[in-house]
Amino acid sequence: MTDTTITTCYAHPGRETTLRCKRCERYICTSCAVGTPTGYMCRDCVRERRKTFDTAVWYDYLIGFGITFILSLVASILVGIAASFIGFYIFFLAAGIGGAAGVFISNITLRAINKRRSRPLFYACAAGVVLGALPVALGTFFFGGGFAGFAVVIYVVIVTPIVYTRVSGIQL
């Protein structure tokens, strides 16, 4: 004889289900289920797992933002100065400087934060890069820097994703 007991979701007792969380084995309904590559998990287990990947402490946000801000400010000043002497060809040079500066800034930042991880930390580092170059970009646009303002914008467009991906640990 078959067992016909009715199982319900642990979070929604009125919903019948046969789906179980792959980690804790509790019954979950389809609205509580979170799809993972290896099966479905309940929201509590997903939240628990996510906390293990956030290893940053409170001062890492200040260190990450501060270092990326200062280094991006210095690099964007160098790009602006080089643009005032080189002219149109700075567009090509800004791409090269941006790539090298992005790797340099991310390596220094990773060393300073001891490779700790947190999504808000990655956003803080990317914001530091953008806000560090912003004064130079605005200054060159408003005070007639010629190609320098555009070169700084190219620098920011190249450096920001490089720093974000390297600090977050995304390997391509």
pLDDT, tens only, 97-143: 889 999 999 999 999 999 888 889 999 999 999 999 999 999 988 88
Separation CA 29–CA 20 (nearest Å) = 8
3-state secondary structure of 157: helix
Cβ-Cβ contacts under 8 Å for 163 (sequence gap 6 or more): 68, 102, 105, 106, 109, 125, 126, 129
Helix H or strand E encompassing 71 = helix 58-86
pTM: 0.73
pLDDT in the model for residue 160: 96
* pLDDT over 60 (residue 171): no
Q: Are 141 and 82 in contact (CB under 8 A)?
A: no
